[in-house]
Amino acid sequence: MNLTTQKRLAASVLKVGVNRVWIDPNESEEVSRAITRGNIKQLINQGIIKAKPKTGISSYRSKKLAEQKRKGKRKGRGSVKGAKKARTPKKKAWMTTIRALRKDLKSMRTNNEIDPTTYRKLYRMAKGGAFRSKSYMKTYARDHDLIK
């Protein structure tokens, strides 16, 4: 039984695409007799013709991927795009290093491990980029007998 005309009319009345029109397979005989928009509207009111719900895109996979990334997965060498300096810029790396060094210097000064003169000297050296980390700075201070 060919119901293409009825489907087209129903789609127009329901304001959906032809593929979203559902016709009750048990009532196909009655639907085939409906040839006007008025008849189609009656069938819609009776529930013989309906519009199928929209099918959305499932976000399950993207949520699962995001969850894994939150755990620290999927971040290996194959996923890395951009150079090392692009991912953590030089300036940001410098800022984190120098802040740690200065904080350590201040704590050493307040705990009287170093005197103000030594503090100044090490502070200037740190500013000049002499130390790459706190441990290097402490090693330097120990080797040069600057720590009391």
Structural domain includes residue 14? yes
Report the domain count for the chain. 2
| pLDDT of 148 over the 90 cut | no
Structural domain includes residue 105? yes
| Joined tokens for residue 65 | 């991927």
- What pLDDT does 120 receive? 97
Q: What would the pLDDT profile of 72-128 be if each residue is shown by its tens digit?
A: 999 899 999 999 899 899 999 999 999 999 999 999 999 999 999 999 999 999 999
The whole domain housing 114 covers 85-143
Q: What would the pLDDT profile of 28-62 be if each residue is shown by its tens digit?
A: 999 999 999 999 999 999 999 999 999 999 999 99
Question: What CATH number should be reported for the domain holding residue 133?
Answer: 1.10.1200.60
Question: What CATH number should be reported for the domain holding residue 13?
Answer: 1.10.1650.10
Q: In terms of domains, do 89 and 47 share one?
A: no
Structural domain includes residue 134? yes
Structural domain includes residue 61? no
Structural domain includes residue 94? yes
Q: Round to whole Å and give the CA distance between 2 and 135.
A: 83
Sign of the Cα torsion 40, 46, 49, 51 reads: positive
Helix residue ranges, H only, 15-133? 28-33, 37-46, 60-71, 84-87, 90-110, 116-127
Structural domain includes residue 70? no
Q: In terms of domains, do 89 and 137 share one?
A: yes
pTM here is: 0.52
